[in-house]
């Protein structure tokens, strides 16, 4: 990690944290520890989201906007793997961080193996469904025969990687919960780099189009899963020591931990499904505006996902640091960590939005060459830059809720934000032609603003500290 001292992400976090410290909003020592835990995860997010963004850019440049729309139609289905696996992994980091803080290593290992079993059980049927009937699934949300065909081809192949994507999340969250974001970054960011290289060869070299993009995604996820399994069972990889070692010995499951995992994870799965599931009706609505709008919209979503990568580190760092403090029964310390990460996150997201919004047109050119489509893409990208600021608030407030086990409110926030506000606002553009695409811009904004307001309210209430008392290691032992 000698080169990490001058890593741009690390330097930026420390610089923003220093300004906040001068204003008396945070403590410098907390910023330092938060930075060390979060920057590797942010780099991981940048690598993986850059990979996803590169998928869209590559197929767009190689085939055209129709291919972008096709991949966009398949993306929500692939996102279900992360919705399911991410929900379980979100509970995993809460269980692992509390047990790591309490030095309850046996329970920690059981938490991980139980999480892995649950992820496999819920993702394998999903993968089978995608493999068997990709066409009818894409038809539910897609429009245009060529775009639908591209989406079907992508989804059928990508189905093979669904269980591995879920397992990757459990493995990486385990490392972050044990105060080691560096190892997770090395493994997962390395997988993202391999993915981009494979895609470039298959898409441009072998002219395999969207199928090549899907193959690259599957191969990369398999390799990352293998590396995490080996590392966790052996205590590390060559040159990359892991902070925990999961013994390959029975028992692999624990009923008490499984119950806690379900109680904590179910709302998080629901939260992720609410966010991902809304992509289906939303793509259907956007499809009513025509394939050009679909392409521009998909580009905006990919750009926003890339800009949202600070939450990969900051929100998970909050969960880890807050969870460790709660595991030591130190609620004031947990609150101090939560506030620090939240304020740092808001500063980071404001800077990202202000710095990149003026370059929306240049960003759009990375995806489309059609000069008639570029103005539309430019506006969508600018709106995505503005809307991502609220994700900073939402992620910072969700971190401590996830660590404490108070995971229902993030679910409520997503349900309200997506289904009560974002989707109806988007549909207004269909029924009121004079508003048109402007409704989609507004939908992107309320989709992030409403959840941010709700999760922040719950965080400010402090109820999450009380909820955490039933999930701490002592509570598990009392059972």
Read off the pLDDT of residues 289-315 as tens digits, 9 standing for 90 and up: 887 888 888 888 888 988 888 887 888
Residue 11: inside a domain: yes
d(CA 423, CA 282): 6
- 80 and 273 Cβ atoms separated by less than 8 Å: yes
Question: What pLDDT is stored for residue 472 in this prediction?
Answer: 61
- Quick one: what percent of the chain has pLDDT higher than 70? 87
Residue 159: inside a domain: yes
Q: Which residues contact 302 (CB under 8 A, 6 or more apart)?
A: 49, 52, 53, 56
Question: What pLDDT is stored for residue 51 in this prediction?
Answer: 67
Question: What pLDDT is stored for residue 101 in this prediction?
Answer: 64
Roughly how many angstroms between the first and final C-alpha of the chain, as a whole number?
Answer: 41
Q: What is the mean pLDDT of residues 395-423?
A: 86
Q: Which residues contact 195 (CB under 8 A, 6 or more apart)?
A: 51, 216, 217, 219, 220
**Tens of pLDDT along 184-197?**
777 877 887 888 88
Question: What pLDDT is stored for residue 420 in this prediction?
Answer: 92
Question: What pLDDT is stored for residue 424 in this prediction?
Answer: 93
Question: What pLDDT is stored for residue 215 in this prediction?
Answer: 87
Residue 2: inside a domain: no
Residue 479: inside a domain: no
Q: Given a cut of 50, is residue 386 above it in pLDDT?
A: yes
Q: Given a cut of 90, is residue 344 above it in pLDDT?
A: yes
Question: What pLDDT is stored for residue 475 in this prediction?
Answer: 47
Question: What pLDDT is stored for residue 440 in this prediction?
Answer: 94
Q: Give the domain range for residue 80.
A: 7-472
Q: Given a cut of 50, is residue 441 above it in pLDDT?
A: yes
Q: Given a cut of 80, is residue 409 above it in pLDDT?
A: yes
Per-residue pLDDT band for 81 (boundaries 50, 70, 90) equals confident
Question: What pLDDT is stored for residue 152 in this prediction?
Answer: 81
Per-residue pLDDT band for 348 (boundaries 50, 70, 90) equals very high
**Tens of pLDDT along 88-145?**
777 777 677 766 666 656 667 777 878 888 888 888 898 898 898 887 888 777 666 7
Range scoring the smallest mean pLDDT among 81-85, 351-355, 475-479: 475-479
Nearest CA among 185, 192, 189, 165 for reference residue 86: 165
Range scoring the smallest mean pLDDT among 198-202, 207-211, 426-430, 470-474: 470-474
Residue 281: inside a domain: yes
Residue with tokens 């009560």: 420
Residue 412: inside a domain: yes
Q: What is the mean pLDDT of residues 241-247?
A: 74
DSSP code for 64: -
Q: Which residues contact 427 (CB under 8 A, 6 or more apart)?
A: 285, 439
Per-residue pLDDT band for 446 (boundaries 50, 70, 90) equals very high
Residue with tokens 């800009």: 307
Nearest CA among 167, 185, 165 for reference residue 176: 185
Residue 477: inside a domain: no
How far is CA 350 from each of CA 81, 309, 388, 446, rounded to the nearest angstrom? 30, 13, 9, 17
Host H or E run for residue 237: strand 236-237
* Mean confidence (pLDDT) of the chain: 81
- 169 and 224 Cβ atoms separated by less than 8 Å: no
- With a threshold of 0.75, does the pTM exceed it? no
Q: What is the mean pLDDT of residues 224-247?
A: 80
Residues, the chain: 479
DSSP code for 242: -
Burial of 430 (0-12, 13-18, 19+ CB in 10 A): middle
Residue 296: inside a domain: yes
**Number of domains the chain contains:** 1
Question: What pLDDT is stored for residue 428 in this prediction?
Answer: 93
Alpha helices in 102-201 (DSSP H): 105-132, 134-141, 145-158, 162-177, 181-200
Range scoring the smallest mean pLDDT among 20-29, 136-145, 195-204, 231-240: 136-145
**Tens of pLDDT along 116-129?**
888 888 888 988 98
Question: What pLDDT is stored for residue 140 in this prediction?
Answer: 74
Q: Which residues contact 325 (CB under 8 A, 6 or more apart)?
A: 101, 331, 333, 334, 337
Number of Cα atoms under 13 Å in the Cβ half of residue 198: 21
């Amino acid at each position: 990690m000698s080169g990490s001292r001058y890593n741009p992400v690390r330097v930026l976090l420390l610089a923003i944290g220093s300004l906040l410290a001068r204003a008396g909003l945070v403590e410098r020592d907390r910023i330092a520890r938060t930075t060390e835990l979060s920057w590797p995860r942010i780099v991981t997010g940048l690598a993986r989201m850059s990979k996803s963004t590169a998928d869209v850019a590559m197929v767009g440049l190689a085939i055209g906007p129709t291919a972008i729309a096709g991949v966009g139609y398949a993306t929500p289905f692939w996102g279900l793997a992360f919705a399911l696996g991410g929900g379980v992994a979100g509970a995993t980091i809460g269980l692992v961080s509390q047990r790591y803080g309490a030095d309850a290593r046996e329970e920690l290992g059981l938490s991980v193996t139980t999480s892995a079993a649950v992820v496999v059980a819920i993702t394998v049927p999903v993968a089978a469904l995608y493999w068997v009937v990709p066409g009818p699934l894409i038809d539910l949300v897609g429009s245009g025969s060529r775009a639908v065909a591209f989406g079907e081809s992508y989804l059928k192949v990508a189905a093979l990687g669904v269980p591995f994507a879920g397992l990757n999340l459990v493995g990486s969250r385990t490392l972050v919960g044990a105060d080691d974001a560096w190892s997770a970054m090395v493994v997962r960011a390395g997988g993202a780099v391999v993915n981009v290289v494979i895609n470039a060869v298959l898409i441009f070299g072998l002219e395999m189009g969207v199928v090549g993009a899907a193959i690259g995604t599957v191969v990369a996820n398999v390799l990352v899963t293998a590396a995490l399994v080996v590392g966790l069972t052996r205590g590390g990889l060559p040159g990359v020591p892991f902070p925990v070692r999961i013994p390959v010995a029975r028992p692999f499951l624990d009923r008490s931990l499984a119950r806690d995992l379900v109680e904590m994870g179910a709302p998080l799965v629901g939260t992720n499904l609410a966010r991902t599931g809304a992509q289906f009706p939303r793509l259907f609505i956007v499809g009513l505006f025509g394939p050009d709008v679909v392409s521009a919209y998909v580009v905006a979503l990919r750009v926003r996902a890339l800009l949202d990568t600070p939450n990969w580190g900051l929100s998970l760092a909050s969960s880890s640091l807050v969870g460790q403090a709660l595991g030591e029964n130190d609620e004031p310390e947990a609150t101090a960590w939560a506030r620090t990460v939240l304020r740092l996150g808001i500063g980071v997201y404001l800077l990202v939005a202000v710095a990149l919004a003026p370059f929306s047109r240049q960003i759009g050119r990375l995806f489309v060459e059609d000069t008639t489509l570029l103005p539309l893409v430019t506006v969508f990208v600018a709106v995505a830059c503005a809307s991502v600021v609220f994700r900073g608030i939402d992620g910072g407030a969700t971190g401590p809720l996830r660590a404490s086990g108070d995971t229902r409110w993030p679910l409520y926030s997503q349900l309200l934000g997506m289904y009560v506000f974002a989707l109806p606002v988007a549909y207004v553009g269909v029924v009121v032609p004079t508003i048109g695409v402007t409704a989609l811009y507004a939908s992107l904004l309320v989709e992030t603003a409403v959840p941010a307001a709700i999760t922040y309210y719950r965080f400010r209430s402090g109820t999450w500290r009380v909820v955490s008392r039933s999930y701490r290691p002592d509570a598990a032992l009392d059972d």
